[in-house]
Amino acid sequence: MFDSSLDMSSVDTQVFEGSIVHPELYLWDSWSYQEQGTMHLYCLAISRTKPNGEALLPAEKDNYPFHIRHFSSLDQGRRWKDEGCFQQPGKTSDGHDGRNVWSGSICLLPSGEKLAGFTGIFEIDDQRRYLQNISLATSSDRHIDSLLPSPLSCPIRDREEILGLGYYLDTEDRLGSNDGEEGGPVMAWRDPFLFIDSDQRINVFWSAKSGPGVGVIAQGLIARDDEANSYRLETLYPPMSLPDGENFTQAELPKVYFDETQGMYYLIVSSCNRHFEGQPDSEVDKTIRLYKSDSMRGPWQIAVGDNSAIKGADGLFGMTVLEADFAKDRLLCISPRTGSDDPAAAFTIGERFYLNLNTATVIR
C-alpha cells in the first residue's frame, strides 16, 4: 500500500566533498544547469528510513513518495552543498502529481526565468502506480513557484494523438500497470528534458515507447500562452528510434546538447533491457549511451564506432552534463551510481568526470 506520510523536507542540509553519499537519503537520476558560476544539480531522493523508524529497502521505495533534491556547487562540482527539497508530489491543482514526482530537467529561459520539467504520477490505485505524464513548473529560486494546472502531455487526455503519431500505450484500463505492458516493462512517458534551440524555442525530449518493449525518444515543442507562467505543448512529433534500439527495451533520461561550431547535436540516453516486471535485477543491464546527429529530429547515429555504450561508465546511470567544453571535445559530467560495480555505492552520486566525445570514454 502507498504510504504518503514519509517526511521529505526535514532532512538536514550538508556539504559533500567529491561524491554525494547522503547518510539519510537514497539518491538516483540527475539533471542540472549552470548560472553565474554556480552549478545546480537535481536528483530524485527518498529517506532511507520509514516513518516508523525501520530501514527502507530500495525495493520498497515505490511504496512511498519521492522528492526532488537540489545541490549546488561553486567549484565546478568538486564540493556540493545540499540545498534541500526542491519539489514534492501532491501540489498540482488537478492531481496529476498526486502519487509521485519523477525525473525531469530545468533550464534558463531567455527571460531569465527558470522552467522545470518533471514527470507527474497520477494516483489511481495500488495496481497502477506508474501512470505517468509530462508536466512543467516555474522557479525563481530554490523552490517551485507555480505549476501547470494540467499536464503538458497526458496519456489519458491525449491518447488519440499519441497513438496516431506512432507511440505505444497500453489499453486505457491498464495504463500504468505494475505488471508492465503486454508482458514488457512498465509504461514510458517520462523524464522530460528541456532544451532551448538557436531560435530560442523551447524543445522537450522524453522517454517513450513504440511497442511494449521498444524504447524511443519523444520530442515536442512548447509554446507560452498569453496567461503568465502558462505553457502548452504546441507540437508533438513522431517518435525517434535509435540505431541500436534492439539492444534495450527502455530509453530513459534523454539529454540533448549542441556543439554550435560543428553543428552537431549529442544525445545521451540511459538504457535498460528489462524484458518484464519482476525480472531479477541481476539479469538487467543498465547502460549510458551516446549518439549524434546534425538535426534535433535525427536520424541519430552511434557517436563513436559501432557501439553506443559509453566506455568506463560501468555502475553509472542517469548522468547529467554539468558543463560542455566542445573546444576540447569533452563534457564535464556527474552521475548517480547503481551499485553494480560496488554495492555500497548504490543510490549515491559519484564524483565528477569528463566524457571524451572523440572516444565516448569516461575520463576520471
What string of DSSP letters covers 189-210? Answer: -EEEEEEE-TT--EEEEEEEEE
- The reply to whether 22 falls in a domain is no
List, for the chain, all residue ranges whose pLDDT scores fall below the cut of 50: 1
Separation between Cα atoms, residue 296 and residue 281, nearest integer Å: 33
> For residues 56 and 64, what is the distance between their CA atoms, to the nearest angstrom?
10
What is the count of structural domains for the chain?
Answer: 1
In a domain, 210, yes or no: yes
Whether 31 maps to a domain, the answer reads no
Q: In which order are the strands placed within the sheet that holds 286-293? A: 250-259, 264-272, 286-293, 301-302
Enter the C-alpha cell of residue 110: 531567455
Cβ pair 137, 116 in contact under 8 A: yes
Assign 270 to helix, strand or coil.
strand
CA–CA separation, 225 and 15 (whole Å): 40
User: What is the predicted pLDDT for the residue at 13?
Assistant: 75
Predicted confidence at residue 1, as pLDDT, reads 47
β-sheet bridge partners, residue 101 = 120
Q: Give 56's Cβ-side CA count (13 Å radius).
A: 24
CATH number at residue 192: 2.115.10.20
Residue at grid coordinates 566533498: 17
Task: Kindly report, residue by residue over 182-210, the tens digit of the pLDDT.
Answer: 989 999 999 999 999 999 999 999 999 99
Contacts 24+ apart (CB under 8 A), 98-102: 98/122, 98/123, 99/2, 99/65, 99/123, 99/124, 99/129, 99/131, 100/65, 100/66, 100/129, 101/65, 101/66, 101/67, 101/68, 102/29, 102/44, 102/66, 102/132, 102/190, 102/191
pTM of the model as a whole: 0.96
- Residue 187: inside a domain: yes
Q: How many CB atoms lie within 10 A of CB 211?
A: 15
Q: Does 8 reside within a domain?
A: no
Phi and psi dihedrals of 268, rounded to 5? -110, 130
> Within 10 Å of residue 230's Cβ, how many Cβ atoms?
14
Q: Where are the beta strands (DSSP E) in 48-96?
A: 67-73, 79-87
Which alpha helices (DSSP H) does 280-353 contain, by range?
A: none
Domain-embedded: residue 28:
no
For residue 124, being part of any structural domain is answered with yes
C-alpha cell read off for 63: 511504496
Q: Check if the beta carbon of residue 101 is closer than 8 Å to that of residue 87.
A: yes
Residue 256 lies in a domain: yes
How many Cβ atoms from other residues are within 10 Å of residue 136's Cβ? 25
Return the pLDDT at 7: 58
Q: Which uninterrupted H or E stretch holds 161?
A: helix 159-164
Range of the domain at 193: 87-363
